Amino acid sequence: MVQDPAPSPAPADAPPRAGTTGIFRAAARNLGWLLASRGVMAILSLFYLGFATRTLGVVDFGRFALISGAAQALATFVGFQTWQIIVQYGVEPIQHGDTPRLARLFRLSAILDLCSALVGAVLTVGILFAWSDGFGIPPNLMRDTLIFAVVQLITIRSTPL
C-alpha cells in the first residue's frame, strides 16, 4: 500500500482563491459606499439644520423639532415590522411555488401596515386636540401638524411591494 504524499503548499505567486476574496472585496466596496453616503447625508443634514434654524428662528425651529420628533416617535410606536413576517413565513411558499399563499401573506402584511397607519392617525388627532397647548402648537399650525404626522405615518409601510 502506497501512501500519497501530503499536498504541497500553494506557491507564493499563486492567485488567491476567487470565491472568498471576491466576496470580501464586494462587501468592503459596499461598506465603503454605505459609509460615504452616510457621511454625505450627515454633512447635508448639518446644512439643512442651519438653514432651517436661521429661517424659522429659535422658537419656530423648536416647534418644528418637536412636531418632527413626535411624529417619528409615534410612527415607530405604532409601526409593525411586516417585512419580518414575509421573511419568516414567505420562504416556504416561494420554495413550493405557492403563489396564492404568498399573495395572502403580502396582503396581510399590507393590511397590518395600513391599520397601523390608521391607528397612528387616530392617536395623532387625539394627542393634538388634547395637548396642543402644552406642546406650544398654535391653532393655525394644527392642520399642518396633523398633515405632517399623517404623511409620516403613511410612509412607515415596511411591506415590500
The per-residue pLDDT string of the chain (161 residues; one tens digit each, 9 = 90 and over) reads 556 555 555 555 555 555 667 899 999 999 999 999 999 999 999 998 899 999 999 988 988 888 888 888 888 888 878 888 999 999 999 999 999 999 999 999 989 888 888 888 898 889 888 988 888 888 888 898 889 888 888 876 666 65
CA distance 136 to 17: 63
Whether this model's pTM surpasses 0.75: no
**CA dihedral of residues 65, 67, 71, 73 (deg, nearest 10):** 50
Which residues, other chains included, contact 124 with Cβ-Cβ below 8 Å and sequence gap of 6+? 71, 74, 146, 149, 150, 153
